[in-house]
A and B are shown apart, each in its own frame.
Chain A
Amino acid sequence: DAKTTQPPSMDCAEGRAANLPCNHSTISGNEYVYWYRQIHSQGPQYIIHGLKNNETNEMASLIITEDRKSSTLILPHATLRDTAVYYCIVRANAGGTSYGKLTFGQGTILTVHP
């Protein structure tokens, strides 16, 4: 699976948009970009994923560059409860020997402050 690079930490004011970047310059054509977050003492929570097109759901938006070498997770109106570690993961199709397992990096610690 392709490796990802994320900033170790970011701050955001409550109510503002949080934009979390991720670089995945070695991504392959069949690899998806996944975002998970982990709030303290909880299991990781799925946020969103995409292949090429931008995606939006009730939690967030995912913007993927045209060359697919980077992406941005956008939390449009951050709240204090969004404080968490955010993981950007590139995952191969589950064919072959990867079987869909997720490889977590260190992620970005997002702190939302009042």
Chain B
Amino acid sequence: GAGVSQSPSNKVTEKGKDVELRCDPISGHTALYWYRQSLGQGLEFLIYFQGNSAPDKSGLPSDRFSAERTGGSVSTLTIQRTQQEDSAVYLCASSPDGLAGGRTQYFGPGTRLTVL
């Protein structure tokens, strides 16, 4: 079946512009996670959705970052007034049920964001 998809695959923007990154999780997966990976850095957690609710936003680095999920499916990560330090690969993962132990997360290919 189809895996997690993300769009765009690459995004180049100018400092100060807003960007939207999209994630389409695996059909039926109720849990959705956003991570980011900066150059030379490990993957860091950003936000977790269970259905359309986000009980854990602890990884969002600033109030310029926000995310929403609609219909328990597609999620959009929005970065306002982008800065050069926002340049990274943004990864989305989905899981059948984030509330149960042992649930595997499946990752998308990521969106590479470059802020000039």
Co-assembled chains A and B: yes
Q: Complex Cα distance A26/B33, Å?
A: 25
- Chain B minimum-CB-distance residue to A47: B104
Chain B positions 4-61 with a Cβ under 8 Å from a chain A Cβ:
4, 31, 33, 35, 42-45, 48, 50, 55-56, 59
Does B102 have its Cβ within 8 Å of any Cβ on chain A? yes
Whether A101 contacts B107 in the complex (CB less than 8 A), given A30-B101, A44-B43, comes out as no
Whether A95 contacts B101 in the complex (CB less than 8 A), given A42-B109, A101-B33, A101-B48, comes out as yes
Whether A49 contacts B102 in the complex (CB less than 8 A), given A43-B91, A104-B43, comes out as yes
Which of B44, B91, B98, B101: most chain A CB closer than 10 A? B101
Does B95 have its Cβ within 8 Å of any Cβ on chain A? yes
The A-B contact count (CB < 8 A) is: 72
Q: Are A32 and B102 touching (Cβ within 8 A)?
A: yes
- Chain A minimum-CB-distance residue to B3: A43
Complex contacts, A104 vs chain B, CB 8 Å: 35, 42-44
A70 CB to nearest chain B CB (Å): 20
Q: Are B101 and A99 touching (Cβ within 8 A)?
A: no
Q: Mark A41-60, 1 if CB is under 8 A from B, else 0.
A: 01111100101000000000
Q: Are A49 and B104 touching (Cβ within 8 A)?
A: yes
Whether A99 contacts B109 in the complex (CB less than 8 A), given A49-B102, A104-B43, comes out as no
Q: Which residues of A contact B (CB under 8 A)?
A: 30, 32, 34, 42-46, 49, 51, 92-95, 97, 99-107
Q: Which residues of B contact A (CB under 8 A)?
A: 4, 31, 33, 35, 42-45, 48, 50, 55-56, 59, 91, 93, 95, 98-110
